[in-house]
Amino acid sequence: MTRILLGGAALLALAACTTPIPDSGAGFNDYDSYQAERAQRDAVLESSPAVTSSELPPAGRSDDPAVAAATSVLDAPAGTPLPTTAGTPAPQSVTDSSGLSEENSFDAVSSERTIEDDKTLIQQNRAQYEVVAPTDLPARPDSDAPNIVAYALQTNNPVGTPLYSRSAFASEEKGQRNCAKYETSDRAQEAFLSGGGPEKDRNGLDPDGDGFACSWDPAPFRAVRGY
């Protein structure tokens, strides 16, 4: 009997030392607090104005200036130059110290600008690209000037080889002064042939008598015929 009484007393003492377990759950202190927080949240949601379809912007349109600007670029006709933002210069082509382009060098380009900048530059180049339709060659004007090409092919003497007699007063110095009146040696040769050359040199353009005025050289024309 004494053992039963002692056992009962021990159980009562153990129950008195045990902390009561509160009526709580994960995420809240107790069930009543949870219900109060939920009611408060529902009240806030109900008081917020609902967004109707009439308040939403139409599909494909945005009030964001950046989005609107990008859309205008995409919708612009081909050939329209791309706009640049103030303070943001358009990407420039990459060149070396001598001014030669290094656009074909990936390392050089990647160190100077980003992929987005490179894409912008390509779009700008495409916008500025212009296809020029071929046209007919201009008609050769009618002229009585001697054909210096035909003259070059009809002769075979080297430049500086005298073939025609000249006046005793002819000199290299006078010839240079007379040649200075013409823009090119081709024009001088035409004038020389028009003035009676190669036999005669009325304008003093061929003092050595080789038949070629003002250092005019027939070699390029002769090369076509294999002279």
Give residues with Cβ within 8 angstroms of 226, minimum separation 6.
none
DSSP state of 145: S
Residue 50 confidence class, pLDDT cut points 50, 70, 90 = low
pLDDT over 60 (residue 5): no
Same domain, 114 and 181: no
220 found inside a domain: yes
- Residue 20: per-residue pLDDT: 53
DSSP 86: T
Residue-range definition of the domain harbouring residue 156: 148-225
The residue type of 189 is Q
Residue type, 140: R
pLDDT value at position 151? 92
Please enumerate in sequence order all residues whose Cβ is within 8 A of that of 217, keeping only pairs 6 or more positions apart, or say none: 159, 185
The candidate with the shortest Cα–Cα distance to 210, out of 157, 148, 168, is 157
Same domain, 207 and 165: yes
Q: Which two tokens stand for residue 181?
A: 């009146």
Q: How many domains does the chain have?
A: 2
pLDDT tens digits along 130-189: 777 777 666 656 667 789 999 999 998 999 898 999 888 888 899 999 999 999 999 999
Do 218 and 176 form a contact (C-beta atoms < 8 A)? no
d(CA 118, CA 123): 9
pLDDT at position 4 is 58
Identify the DSSP state of 60: T
Summarize pLDDT for 86-143 with one digit per residue, the tens.
555 555 555 555 555 555 555 665 666 677 877 887 788 788 877 777 776 666 566 6
Which is more confident, 4 or 171?
171
